Structure 1
Amino acid sequence: MTAVPTSADTAADTNTDPGHRRQRVRLTPRGTTHVPFTGTRAAEGPLTLGQINIAQWLGNVPDHFYSMLCVEFPVPPGATVGDVTETIAVLGARHETLRTTYRLTGERRQVVAASGTLPLDVCVLGDGRWGPRDQVAVAGALVRWLRANPDPAGTPMHVVVAVAPDQNGPVIACAAALSHMAVDHGAIEVLKREFAELVGDPATRQVGGPRHQPLDQAALEATPTERRRAQAAQDYLQHWTQRIPRRLYDMPDTTPGGDPLAVALSSRAAALAVAQVAARTRASGQGIVLGAICAVLAHRTGDREIILPLMSSNRFERHLVDYVGSVAQGTIAGVEVAGRSFDALVKRAWTVVLEASRNARYDASERARLDERIAHERGLLFKYEPLFNSLVTQSSGPGARVPLRARQFDAAQLDAALAETRLRWRPAHRNAAPVRFELNRLDGRLELDLWSADTGVVSREEAESLLLAFERLVVAAAHEDLDPERMREVIGLETAVRSADWIFLDSCWVDVRKVQDLVDDALAPAVTRVFADVDGRPLVAFVAAKDGIRTPEQAHARCMAALPEHPMALAPRHYVLCATAPADPADLASWPEPTATGTGRTPG
């Protein structure tokens, strides 16, 4: 199958509905209106845990692609700019997060204004006949326009609409850029639902009664019960942080330095198959998708267990179902793949995800401190990005299932649907994870993205092969449960073959040659040699001591400082400092008696 590139050029976007004349989407900005709103209170207080999480994250990567979330807002046919203006005013008054600023130095605080304005931009489309069938193409162009034209004031919500000049200016499409400090994906879904209701019916444009707001959430999180819950989450995360691999997808014979890329699988057959497996196993749709992903990854990498970061919506309590604020946080799950049938695997996958989701509300500043200590002890660096992120909306608590349509199993229909499968690739923004799966849709058609941070590590061909192996696996599982041997046959990919230079240590595949490169760089000009094993101790570095490198602690500190430039390496587990280097550093027996030895992990 050949993947099809998708256009990122606004001017080249076209409407491709059957029977509809294609039109190029060209946007001409007409001006900005600052929509006023008035809320019910002005107040300030501490940040919520969700806000701390985003502040901590953006403090490390302030220009991250997801610092602003750009999405389509639905508009009914015939909606006017006036309707959108009135809707923005109601939303600004209704949701305090849309009129909040943040003090992130010193004592961090959220400050809610009683009134203010939100920007609304109007763009005019080019000549032609524009209508509801153009909405998808035009909305996509508006999203790209927002990313290219961010609001200089950094307001929590920036809305843009496109109007057709030859049709008395009806709104053809609408999009919004929202601050990630203000909202997460769950909050965006609430705003989209309310926006559609308000813009379509003037009678609903009322602020309404009191709602659970971020200041209320901060007060709740300060109670003893919620503090204990946050501490339990820290304990859970500490356990898994001590086990998670530095890079889950660390494959041999790859060379970092490529471009980021996203490959999208669109499969009606996979959606039919997931529905059939769900009917048989009573597992959730997300659990089935995650279980299949884990099976493919474990087979390809040779791992028995997949320990992966993921996202939890954290919207399990009733007061958070319609909450507009950022509460989603990352967590970690460990899925044992080896020895399980497909049905057992998907049930296990969702069980551990539920446990992980119950431990996903915590103080991200405290977690960062724990991560730093654990990284120092393990000799690696963490770059958390969700390996699996489900954007499929759940209706309620952690056990909620995606509403998959019940249907009688039809093997012929499933086979026919395979012919409709499409792979599309596109350039992507920079992200830290070597591979990242994002589930966007399950009902009717399964839509699954695979993001590669570096095509030198995970190429387009590799990404496509993983997605197609995933599809083959779930389609085969629709017919019957699959034992481990049958799963391997269906996946059909080669398991990575690693040379003798590779060892498996501390949940990580490690190329000792990469560790040698790290040590040479970090400790230059000292003579060094890394051995995979010395008397039962793994990953031992022998070093000819120099000024500034006289102790294991000094050596380890320099290796840790150099790790960002050596993403495929781990720091040595043990350091042996000697006064001089032998003529042949590769000859272990020729190194002289050490002047100092140790792990280097003791704080200096």
Structure 2
Amino acid sequence: MLAFGPMADDDSLRTGPHVGSGPRIRSRAVPFAGPGAGAGPLTWGQQHIWEVMQDTDSSRAMGAVVPLTDGKDVDELASELAFFMARYESMRTRLRIAADGTPVQEVAAAGEAELRVVEVPDDADPAAVAEALSEDWQATKFDYEGEWPMRMAAVRHRGAATHVVVCLSHLAADGAGVGVMMRELGERNMETGEARNAQTAISPIELAEWQSGPAGQRASGASLRHWERVLREVPLARFAGPPNADRPEPRFRQATFTSAALRTASRIVAAALGTAVDSVILGAYAYVLAGISGVEPVVIQGVVDNRFRPGLADASHPLCQNGIFAVEVGDASLAEVVERTRRASMQAAKYAYFDPKRQKELLARVAGERGGAVGIGCLFNARSRSGPLDAEALGAERSAAAGVAAGAAVARLREAAAERVLTWGPPLADFQDVMITFDEFDDAAALLVEADTWRVSVQQMEELVRGIEEVVIEAVASEL
């Protein structure tokens, strides 16, 4: 991997490391100024992701490499970086860690960000250099107290900018928040560089203040009453068998399962049921998890984007928290389980807005009263969310699978399933029992499975993702 080094501290345009025929790196200072300076506690969503970041010893960074096909130059990319820094308080926020370890966020009114300019030798591949930089940045933890939470670079080749590389600390934004940022960037006034809507969304400091007040605490209380009902109604254990006696190392593992067949089959099922694709994947997860764990009802925590709440639709900072639900699988069909999990997860989403400190107190209290902690370490996150597919899409999806009738569609799906890929990633620092993260792309669906292999074995991790694919294909074969 290419070594790109730490972000620069100086405010000049400097020539950076250059070894042999490798890329030459310069640093361009980008001034910014914006409203909303101040200091305050983290929001509930920020507290949630901060705890995950600490547990996993990672910034949970979100990175992207975007090819430039519109002729943008470095000046235009610097203007975009200045827009992000000025528009969004979370992008010009650094932390101050209190003596007891509690983070306090401090928003700057003005400052300078750094735009890396990476000059690629004529005989090198700029796409490969951009990908290497992105991987390097995502693997390098942010300096929360000394670094802005947004890293950006322009990759140039033969005198022209070819790619832009961006990396964000998860404490500053989540996936839906990035969507807000990109939408507002595209809508801005190109002459002035200002946002089309002068009114900014509620800032993290403003939201944290509301959450600590009477209205926020009432909302938290309602959510935690739902959590308590679930915690008291389900068995303590999430898995019938004992922990993995082999105690393998590395303990915490991750793998990505990529399948074109799963994408097509899940869309066929979604169209037939008149529901969203991520609802199908969640239902299949619950269905397979019941068999692997041997415990019912299945208890799942789902990651909920709270932007559906009043006043939060255009916020870029993290708003996701976990909702919790329990669902019986029994001998129900996948279609029945999908409907059960859909209803239960909607209820869980309503109550996924709470004070994390009060939630910890609740978990400890219930554990003390029940004689042990309730196992809630099975999680689900749909990074690719869609609305219900139109029923007319059913015929189109079957045609996409085979070009003919349903029977041939199933045969083609089984052929495509043979081309699925399971790729193991680097070990994790820490994790709960198991989590599935769903992504849907133009040509395939992807399931990221992360697990504590002392609780869920490597074999069970594979059984889980392959089982989700198989049960969805079987639903197509049985015509639901």
- Structure 2 residue identity aligned to 1:228: R
Q: Which residue of structure 1 lines up, in the alignment, with residue 463 of structure 2?
A: 465
Aligned length: 443
CA contact (8 A) 1:404 1:442 kept: no
Q: Which residue of structure 1 lines up, in the alignment, with residue 393 of structure 2?
A: 406
SS for the counterpart of 1:67 is: coil
Q: Note the 1:280-291 alignment, pairs <5 A.
A: 280-291=272-283
Residues 477-534 of structure 1: CA deviation (Å, up to 9, x unaligned): 023356xxxxxxxxxxxxxxxxxxxxxxxxxxxxxxxxxxxxxxxxxxxxxxxxxxxx
Q: Which residue of structure 1 lines up, in the alignment, with residue 90 of structure 2?
A: 97
- Structure 2 residue identity aligned to 1:372: A
Q: Note the 1:178-577 alignment, pairs <5 A.
A: 178=169, 180-194=170-184, 202-203=190-191, 205-208=193-196, 209-214=198-203, 215-221=205-211, 224-243=214-233, 248-249=238-239, 251-252=241-242, 254-259=245-250, 260-317=252-309, 319-381=311-373, 387-393=379-385, 400-401=387-388, 406-408=393-395, 409=398, 410-411=405-406, 412-416=408-412, 417-441=416-440, 444-454=443-453, 457-480=455-478
**C-alpha separation between the residues in 1 aligned to 2:299 and 2:110?**
46
CA contact (8 A) 1:309 1:332 kept: yes
**C-alpha separation between the residues in 2 aligned to 1:27 and 1:250?**
55
**C-alpha separation between the residues in 1 aligned to 2:256 and 2:30?**
37
Residues 373-417 of structure 1: CA deviation (Å, up to 9, x unaligned): 2233344457866621111145xxxxx447899241243244323
**C-alpha separation between the residues in 2 aligned to 1:41 and 1:68?**
25
Displacement of 1:232 after TM fit?
Answer: 0.3
Q: Does 1:121 align with 2:112?
A: no
- Structure 1 residue identity aligned to 2:136: W
Displacement of 1:289 after TM fit?
Answer: 0.7
Q: Which residue of structure 2 lines up, in the alignment, with residue 51 of structure 1?
A: 46
Q: Which residue of structure 1 lines up, in the alignment, with residue 159 of structure 2?
A: 168
CA contact (8 A) 1:266 1:423 kept: yes
SS for the counterpart of 1:350 is: helix
Shift of the 230–118 alpha-carbon distance from structure 1 to 2, 3 Å rule, reads: same
**C-alpha separation between the residues in 2 aligned to 1:464 and 1:307?**
20
**C-alpha separation between the residues in 1 aligned to 2:260 and 2:478?**
19
What TM-score comes out, normalization by structure 2 length?
Answer: 0.81
Shift of the 401–65 alpha-carbon distance from structure 1 to 2, 3 Å rule, reads: farther
- Structure 2 residue identity aligned to 1:90: F
Displacement of 1:340 after TM fit?
Answer: 2.0
Q: Which residue of structure 1 lines up, in the alignment, with residue 76 of structure 2?
A: 83
Bigger mean CA offset, 70-79 vs 245-254:
245-254
CA contact (8 A) 1:73 1:192 kept: no
**C-alpha separation between the residues in 2 aligned to 1:266 and 1:149?**
26
CA contact (8 A) 1:27 1:162 kept: no
- Structure 1 residue identity aligned to 2:473: V
Displacement of 1:146 after TM fit?
Answer: 0.8
Shift of the 304–381 alpha-carbon distance from structure 1 to 2, 3 Å rule, reads: closer
SS for the counterpart of 2:256 is: strand
Gap runs ≥5 in structure 2: 4-20, 399-404
**C-alpha separation between the residues in 1 aligned to 2:355 and 2:146?**
25
**C-alpha separation between the residues in 2 aligned to 1:458 and 1:124?**
46
The CA RMSD over aligned residues, in Å, is 3.3
CA contact (8 A) 2:153 2:164 kept: yes
Displacement of 1:230 after TM fit?
Answer: 1.7
**C-alpha separation between the residues in 2 aligned to 1:130 and 1:318?**
47
**Is the radius of gyration larger for structure 1 or structure 2?**
1
Q: Note the 1:7-86 alignment, pairs <5 A.
A: 9=1, 28=23, 30-45=25-40, 47-55=42-50, 57=51, 62=54, 64-72=56-64, 74-77=66-69, 78-86=71-79
For CA contacts below 8 A with separation 6 or more, give which structure has more relative contact order.
Answer: 2
SS for the counterpart of 1:258 is: coil
Q: Which residue of structure 2 lines up, in the alignment, with residue 141 of structure 1?
A: 132
Shift of the 255–244 alpha-carbon distance from structure 1 to 2, 3 Å rule, reads: farther
SS for the counterpart of 1:238 is: helix
Displacement of 1:72 after TM fit?
Answer: 0.4
**C-alpha separation between the residues in 2 aligned to 1:43 and 1:272?**
49
**C-alpha separation between the residues in 1 aligned to 2:27 and 2:240?**
48
- Structure 2 residue identity aligned to 1:462: Q
Residues 77-125 of structure 1: CA deviation (Å, up to 9, x unaligned): 2332222211111111111111234456489754332112223333343
Q: Which residue of structure 2 lines up, in the alignment, with residue 487 of structure 1?
A: none
Displacement of 1:237 after TM fit?
Answer: 1.4
